[in-house]
Amino acid sequence: MTFIEEFDGFLFDLDGVVYAGQGAIDGAPESITALRDAGRPVGFVTNNASRSEADVAAHLRELGVPAEESTVFGSARTAMSLLDDRAEKGARVFVVGSPSLADLVTDAGFTVVGLDAMEAGEGCDVVVQGFSPETGWRHLAAASYAIEAGADWIATNMDATIPRAEGIAPGNGSLVEGVRRATGRDPVVAGKPEPAIFHRAAKALGCSRPLVVGDRLDTDIAGGRASGFASALVLTGIDSRESAEAASADQRPDFVIGSLRDLVNGEASSFSLDAR
């Protein structure tokens, strides 16, 4: 049995695994295509809430990665499930994030409150915070004031950094941390490492023993372990073999791979943390 035959599906992170910035990581499209050609279900589990799942799938196809909207599982849609559980339909929601996140909130039956309305004192019932490169101090301040006044707070993810083509940049978690420090409150988190997003993906793909593949110990690997799934750290993004070896038990991967090519070509023993 080859390594990939040990699993009935694969759940890939995106940033730092499949692409960095707008470009594909070398060998990633071909490796994912090979898995699909071998009959293995492939899903993409991402904390990026700045784009819709349809937009993410379209971008992947542009990079040569076989993907459909139904195989992309984003933290934004998982956040909508939390919003449904925690607020009445029609509740007023201030969205710190992208237009696509605001569209999801509207489509879910809630009323989006804009920044100008917040600054005019209209207030909101819930703050939903996701990443957008357009987020500024005014958005964070308005969110902080609302949370201090009693609004509920949902964060799509807590990724402190994101890998870009130019280097490592602040992620949504860094912006959430600013609001947390200002308010002394903690958000309810929708994305990785919470297991809900992994279970949603595995159920949709019909997998019971998928391999979670990611570049971050604190989100991808921790989330895989929390979900009861095997995990592999890929060394094309944030974390290193050294950090994996030093990780706590809840963030320790089952395997380490240099790239997605190794996933397709290697044997399980090649990826063991104990292998040298």
Residue numbering of the annotated binding site for substrate: 192
- Residue 116 annotated in active site: no
Residue 13: active-site member: yes
Reference 173, options 162, 185, 184; nearest CA is: 162
Buried b (16+ CB within 10 A) or exposed e, 145-168: bbbeeebbbbbbbbbbbbbeeeee
Which residue in 111, 175, 104 sits closest to 143, CA to CA? Answer: 175
Question: Would you list which residues are annotated within the binding site?
Answer: 13, 15, 192, 215
Mark the binding-site residues for Mg(2+), compressed into ranges: 13, 15, 215
* C-alpha–C-alpha distance, residues 259 and 32, integer Å: 11
**Closest by Cα among 267, 269, 262 to 17:** 262
List 15, 152, 220, 239, catalytic entry: 15
Kindly state the greatest CA–CA separation across the chain: 64
Residue of 13, 218, 220, 262 with catalytic role: 13
Residues known to be catalytic? 13, 15
